[in-house]
Amino acid sequence: MEWHSTDAQSLAIIDREIGEHIFSPAEYELVRRVIYATADFEYKALIRFADAALQSGAAALAARSTIVVDVPMVQVGITTNIQNTFANPVYCSMEALTRPQKEKTRAAWGIETLARRYPEGIFVVGQAQTALTALVDLIEAEEIRPALIVATPSGFVDAEIAKKRLADSLIPHIRIEGRKGNAVVAAAIMNGLVDLAWQAYGREQNGMM
């Protein structure tokens, strides 16, 4: 991801203002990306990293695992960085060819369809709580085992329940606790992870091309 002098100045301000924290250097890089994208320091207290989430996500990116996102805004936000690095396929649940389902939203049915097709992929849910619920249902039914889930949908009741169920799973994930979250946060997390993974695996990947 290309950075300019104003970006560096903004990140320096975040570094001064964020205060003490217990994040690892890699985790902190994603936290500061989220704060930079939102200008909201509250995310420092809301972001959660499951065990081995960054390692699993980075390895899956390097292996060119398929990435499935819930809404076009997330897809647009990460595709350029993906294309310039690992070139993973990126599919959006809203564009999946599915049969209409009265009891499910388009995002939920689309991500469920794609999850069954790519059960070990990377899933990014930035906006649609129903898509996260559909993923958790499949995980609990042991139909899929994603390499990583990034879950940042906002909401008041169901979103928090879905995030709690994800937290109780053994799936590597990065989530935003509580009511906050959006597609911008999801894209910031993914772009940060892609950059970290490229630093770790990029030379090896370039050697294979």
- Which pLDDT band, with edges at 50, 70 and 90, does 156 fall under? confident
- The pLDDT assigned to 150 comes to 98
- The pLDDT assigned to 209 comes to 45
Compute the mean pLDDT over every residue in the chain, rounded to the nearest whole number: 92
Task: Find where tokens 């606790």 sit.
Answer: 177
Pairing between β-strand 47-49 and β-strand 173-176 as defined by DSSP bridges = antiparallel
Distance CA 101, CA 145 (A): 24
* For range 142-155, the mean pLDDT: 96
pLDDT above 70 for 64? yes
The answer to whether the predicted template modeling score (pTM) of the entire model surpasses 0.85 is yes
Instruction: Return the half-sphere exposure (C-beta side, CA atoms, 13 A cut-off) of residue 7.
Output: 7
CB count within 10 Å of CB 180 equals 18
Higher per-residue pLDDT: 206 or 144: 144
* For range 192-208, the mean pLDDT: 81
pLDDT tens per residue, range 71-84: 999 999 999 999 99
Distance CA 109, CA 79 (A): 22
Distance CA 96, CA 180 (A): 27
3-state DSSP assignment of residue 68: strand
